[in-house]
Amino acid sequence: MAVTLRCADRAELPAVLGLWPASEAVPTHTDDMKSLTRLMDADPEALVVAVDNGIIVGSVVAGWDGWRGSIYGLVVAPSHRRRGLGRQLLDCGERSLQARGATRLAAIVVCSDDRAIGFWRSTGWFEQPDRVRFVKG
């Protein structure tokens, strides 16, 4: 598999947005052009894409707020699953966050997504059952 991992270009944002529902990712209210553009304005290294022959087949958001690194929206196109690409994207996101100074990393995973939960349990990351996440918006 000759897939290249790199930071996304603004021109690729529509393709990234198209990949997420095609990959059966659970949608959020920030899955839109305005939010992705704002992300790239704030942190140009946050959105990493996997590209195969010019087609985006995976992505991960590795956001750094200056205090903690967070992994969001790790997706792989169904055509490219079960080949280690998800792990490569995660490793790339981790390295990027660590290079920017993050020492503590967190991932937000939809608890009803069995495929995602299975992936994360295989990564060496740990579930934190003694915490509850609160959100607004």
Q: What is the pLDDT of residues 10-23, one digit of tens each?
A: 999 999 999 988 88
Strand ordering across the sheet containing 69-76: 4-7, 47-52, 55-64, 69-76, 105-107
Residue of 65 and 5 predicted with greater confidence: 5
pLDDT, tens digit, for every residue of 55-64?
Answer: 999 999 999 9
> How many domains, the chain?
1
91 CB-near residues (< 8 Å, 6+ apart): none
9 within some domain: yes
Angle at CA of residue 132, ends 126 and 137, nearest 5°: 115
Per-residue model confidence as pLDDT tens digits over 15-53 = 999 998 888 887 788 888 999 999 999 999 999 999 999
Q: Looking at the domain assignment, is residue 97 inside a domain?
A: yes
In a domain, 127, yes or no: no
Could you tell me if residue 126 is inside a domain? Answer: no
Q: What is the CATH number of the domain that holds 58?
A: 3.40.630.30
* Residue 66, domain extent: 4-121
| pLDDT tens by residue, 92-129 | 999 999 999 999 999 988 888 899 999 999 999 999 98
pLDDT digits over 66-94, tens only?
989 999 989 999 999 999 999 999 999 99
Q: Write down the pTM of the prediction.
A: 0.91
